[in-house]
A and B are shown apart, each in its own frame.
Chain A
Amino acid sequence: MPTVSMNVNGEAVSGEVEARTLLVQFLREQLRLTGTHVGCDTSQCGACVVHVNGVSAKSCTMLAVQCADAEVTTIEGLADGDDLHPMQEAFRDNHGLQCGFCTPGMIMSALDLARRNSTPSEQEVRDWLEGNICRCTGYHNIVKSIMAGARAMAAVRGG
């Protein structure tokens, strides 16, 4: 079996995988990082979004071996100890989750938007969430959370 090495949330990891092992399986089943969810397994819902080399990607539609030597960030890599990431704070403050199943993917997707645009409009956030499905919230508070989170991140950087 191939051995794959990558950096996940700042730590070097490696493991034996089958060529067909999906990145999300490697993260959840081998590394036990179960914050990344599988909602559909068909590239539709975005529950599995992580960052690969700083860019958001659906980890159900990538092979673990495609991430050889890559930097992978999952939802577990965001908080600094007990201090939540500003985007996580924003979801809590704006009631951006109900059951929470979609939330890790929403937050990882939102961070890719915030990287490009620190003051996204409501429409820009809604367009960006094309690939993230939530079955609980009706999206309204997710959109509010992301707008607030992006601005909070910019404020942290600015200060």
Chain B
Amino acid sequence: MHNFTYHAANSVADAAAKVADGEDAVLMAGGMTLLPTLKQRLAQPSDIIDLAGVAGLSGIRVEGGTVTVGAMTTHDTVANSSEVAAAIPALAAVAGHIGDPQVRNRGTIGGSIANNDPAADYPAALVGLGATVCTNRREIAAGDFFTSMFETALDEGEIVTSVRFPAPETAAYMKFPNPASRYAIVGVFVARTTGGSVRVAVTGAAGCVYRETAMETALEGDFSPAALDGMTASADDLNEDIHASAEYRAHLVGVMARRAVAACG
């Protein structure tokens, strides 16, 4: 790891000022992705701005049908929150199946979505639930936030402050995990709103989270696993690696989607 200057920010404004001041400064949440990246020398920032000491960035608030999760809230906190479990149990389940306990103890929702790993779990939950990403500058709909592999709509130095999730009528997430890392080889998040509209968000399969709109239409007609019989994703543009071929991933999208609908009950 190359050396850098470390700064502990004490407010969002302080972090924003420090990140703007640095020649090539980066924000740090739990460091669960950032530090391994630095060890591999894939990045060489001049300054690291630690958000851990910023008051008000962490915590969960449930108001009416909306769950707001602060950017620095750890996966462990979301997984074990009785409030999240009551309002959006599928969201607690997503957080509880990320990586391992020590990753969940330090990894955060803000860091996970800002990183936008194509195999990360939270992007599927945000897109599936139609969440809103709040930053120090604006609000961004989840559907516009995740733009491409490891890329988001965040501008240089923009800081995620929280994520707002509307509670659905029902939702479930099914992931086919990589047995070593637990990242999703394919993960499918299915949600139905009280108005009856359905979202099917897929992670792990392609370069970036996306929606299977044909499956959504089928499920809006008949919200049952059988409605998806015979449907798979197109293998065009899906990821291909030592873990799974594009065709296998396309098949898994159908299987995970049916299982998620079944789990919605």
Residues of A near any B CB (own CB < 8 A): 2, 18-20, 41-44, 46, 49, 55-58, 61-63, 65-66, 68, 109, 112-113, 128, 130-132
Is B102 among interface residues, defined by CB-CB distance under 8 A?
A: yes
Assembled-state Cα–Cα distance A34/B162 (Å): 39
With known contacts A2-B6, A42-B39, A61-B31, A130–B182 Cβ distance under 8 A: yes
Asked if B55 is at the interface of the complex by the 8 Å CB criterion, the answer is: no
Q: Does B35 reach chain A (CB closer than 8 Å)?
A: yes
B2 closest partner in A (C-beta): A20
B36 and A66 within 8 A (CB): no
Q: Out of A41, A44, A109, which one reaches B39, CB within 8 Å?
A: A41
Indicate if the CB atoms of A128 and B4 lie closer than 8 Å.
no
Task: Report Cα–Cα, A65/B28, bound state, in Å.
Answer: 12
Q: Does B117 contact A (CB under 8 A)?
A: no
B1 within 8 Å of A by Cβ? yes
State which of B3, B50, B100 has its C-beta within 8 Å of the C-beta of A66. B50
CB distance from A59 to the nearest CB of B (A): 10
Q: In the complex the two chains form, what is the Cα distance from A68 to B10 in whole Å?
A: 14
**Contact for B3 among A19, A56, A128, CB less than 8 A:** A19
Chain B residues near A (Cβ < 8 Å): 1-6, 8, 31-32, 35-36, 38-39, 48, 50, 52, 76, 99-103, 105-106, 180-182
In contact, B3 and A43 (Cβ under 8 angstroms): no
A-B contact pairs, 5 of them (CB 8 A): A2-B6, A18-B3, A61-B35, A65-B8, A112-B105
Q: Which residues of B contact A66 (CB under 8 A)?
A: 31, 50, 52
- Inter-chain CA distance A65–B31, complex, in Å, is 12
A57: chain B residues at CB < 8 Å are 102, 105-106
Q: How far is the CB of A16 from chain B (nearest CB, A)?
A: 13
- Find out whether the CB atom of B39 lies under 8 angstroms from the CB atom of A131: no
Whole-angstrom distance between the Cβ of B96 and the nearest chain A Cβ: 10
Q: Within the complex, what minimum Cβ distance (angstroms) separates A79 from chain B?
A: 23
Residues of chain A contacted by B102 (CB below 8 angstroms):
46, 49, 56-58, 109, 131
| Distance in angstroms between the alpha carbons of A49 and B101 in the assembled complex | 11
Contact A130 B106 (CB under 8 A): no
Most buried by B among A61, A63, A131: A61
Interface centre among B36, B76, B102, B106 (most CB of A within 10 A): B102
Indicate if the CB atoms of B182 and A55 lie closer than 8 Å. no
Roughly how many angstroms separate A61 CA and B30 CA in the complex, as a whole number? 9
- A19-B31 contact given A57-B106, A131-B103, CB 8 Å threshold: no
- Residues on B with C-beta less than 8 A from A130 are 99-101, 182
In the assembled complex, which residues on chain A have CB atoms less than 8 Å from the CB atom of B48? 19
Give B1's nearest chain A residue, CB to CB.
A20
Min distance, Cβ A48 to any Cβ of chain B, angstroms: 9
Set of chain B residues within 8 Å of A132, measured between Cβ atoms: 100
What residues of chain A lie closer than 8 Å to B106, measured between beta carbons? 57-58, 61-62
CA distance A56 to B39 in the complex (A): 21
Q: Whole-angstrom distance from the CB of B5 to the nearest CB of chain A?
A: 6
Residue of B nearest to A19 (CB): B6
CA gap between A43 and B8 in the complex, in Å? 23
Whose C-beta in chain B lies nearest to the C-beta of A58? Answer: B102
8 nearest A-B residue pairs (beta carbon): A131-B100, A130-B100, A19-B6, A20-B1, A20-B3, A58-B102, A65-B6, A131-B102
* CB nearest neighbor in B for A113: B101
**B101-A61 in contact (CB<8A):** no
Closest chain A residue, CB of each to CB of B181: A44
A132 to B99, CA, bound (A): 12
Known: A20-B3, A66-B31, A68-B8. A128 touches B36 (CB 8 A): no
Q: What is the minimal beta-carbon distance from B143 to any residue of chain A, in angstroms?
A: 31
- List of B residues within 8 angstroms of A41 by Cβ: 39
Within the complex, the shortest CB–CB distance from B216 to chain A, in Å, comes to 32
**Residue of A49, A62, A113 contacting most chain B CB atoms (<10 Å):** A62
Tell me if A43 and B101 are in contact (CB < 8 A). Answer: no
